Amino acid sequence: MHTLEQLRSGELAYISQQKNSQQLTTFPLEILSLADSLEILDLTNNKLSQLPDDFAKLTKLSIVFMSNNCFTELPKILGACPNLEMIGFKSNQITTVDETSLPQKLRWLILTDNNIAQLPQSLGLLPRLQKLALAGNQLTELPTTMDQLHNLDLIRLSANRLETFPTQLLNLPKLAWLAFSGNDFNLHQQVKNTLPEVVPNDYTLQEVLGQGASGVISLSEWKNNTHQLAAVIAVKVFKGEVTSDGYPQDELNTCLKTGRHPNLVQSLAHVTDPKHLALVMALIPAHFKNLGLPPTFKTCTRDTFPNGFALTIEQITKIVSQMTNVIEHMQNQGVAHSDIYAHNVLFDEHANILVGDFGAASIYDDLPPVIQQQIKTLENRAFGYFIEDLLSICESQDSTSSSYQTLSQQAHNYIQW
């Protein structure tokens, strides 16, 4: 974190990254003095509403974060930035995105949690766009030009007001991760509940085990275990607001609809209290760990792994076999996970896996059959990328094996489907 005082003193001259959160109400013009070096600018958590007219002087700038500010429109000047690849304006009050505000080199656009009702046709004319986060807006339709986004891998559309399913996306050659729950065309889905219902007073929340966009997971114990469930449990208490993936209620619904599978994190019960919406889960054994790490700015939509981490072809084959069963199970339930990634998978030393994180999941079995089939194709493509990512960390001595070639061909078939 940097300060205005450091900027004004010249202490930050020639830096490539600038981060400042001091409740700024006006853009610090001193930042423009970093034009020869600045590549990443993060002014999240301020009170900014405008950018200066000469902002495009930051010719080396590739990433800009302005989330949690007071912008009501996406600044037009961004479109004039010659090397800007990533824009993040989450949780502002944006209502307007002008035709000229999107730079041609853009790869990653985050406009989650704003008030956008309409997007410009120019959005579909960005040849490098790979990742698009639009959850939590007021969109009723998408630009028709979006059928030209041939490099788009991931899009989040949940918690909008789309009146019909955006079919212009379904034939995009690289799209694999599509989240669409909580729109007008699928807002009132009825989910059969097969889990017992409990109340917050039935358990005690203890230490926090983890947290994400949609909620906080805590180690818990029963005070009133009337359903005779496991004594020690994990409880995910959902946040009350829209997240980067959509509405918490939709995440809960997809968990309930998916049901049980030996390779899914097991749901045990749920809480419907709107002030304490929660999912009670079986405690994951301590010897399980994350299979991968999330994408980086550079990889954009593809997972990463710790340096030196590798798997044998036998381990990869076993993991792929289990994931095949998980995906088939979910497809039989009419649920798209929409976030099939190694970083959402836990594994142990015997290559047993548990799949979790339903934040982006969507229910699709009430859509027309042709759309259902295309959604399955997208899920299979994500699975193909998943296999490719695992093969990228395969032990070198196994890379010429017949099993490696078989899995490589399987991944290719899914991706090119």
The answer to whether the CB of 109 falls within 8 A of the CB of 127 is no
Measured between its terminal Cα atoms, the distance across the chain in Å is 46
Residues 6+ apart with CB under 8 A from 242: 113, 135, 136, 159
86 beta partners: 63, 108
What does the alpha-carbon distance between residue 48 and residue 346 come to, in Å, rounded to a whole number?
40
Q: Where are the beta strands (DSSP E) in 258-409?
A: 267-271, 278-282, 289-290, 335-336, 345-347, 353-355, 362-363
Q: Provide the β-strand partners of residue 156.
A: 133, 179
Q: Is 236 annotated as a binding residue?
A: yes
133: β partners: 110, 156
Structure tokens at 22: 């001091």
Give 206's strand partners: none
Contacts of 271 (CB under 8 A, 6+ apart): 197, 198, 199, 200, 277, 278, 279, 280
DSSP E strands, 60-214: 63-65, 73-74, 86-88, 96-97, 108-110, 131-133, 154-156, 177-179, 203-211
- CA nearest to 353, candidates 377, 331, 324: 324
Q: Which residues contact 326 (CB under 8 A, 6 or more apart)?
A: 261, 263, 264, 355
Q: Is residue 259 within 8 Å of residue 363, measured between CB atoms?
A: no
In angstroms, what CA-CA distances link 329 with 194, 315, 324?
A: 16, 21, 9
Spatial distance between the Cα atoms of 339 and 317, rounded to a whole number of angstroms: 20
Hey, what amino acid is at 136?
Answer: G
The pair phi, psi for residue 221, each rounded to 5°, is: -135, 150
Tell me the C-alpha to C-alpha distance, in Å, between residue 347 and each of 307, 342, 405.
18, 10, 23
Q: In angstroms, rounded to a whole number, what is the distance separating the alpha carbons of residues 229 and 223? A: 12
Binding-site residues for ATP: 236
Binding-site residues: 236
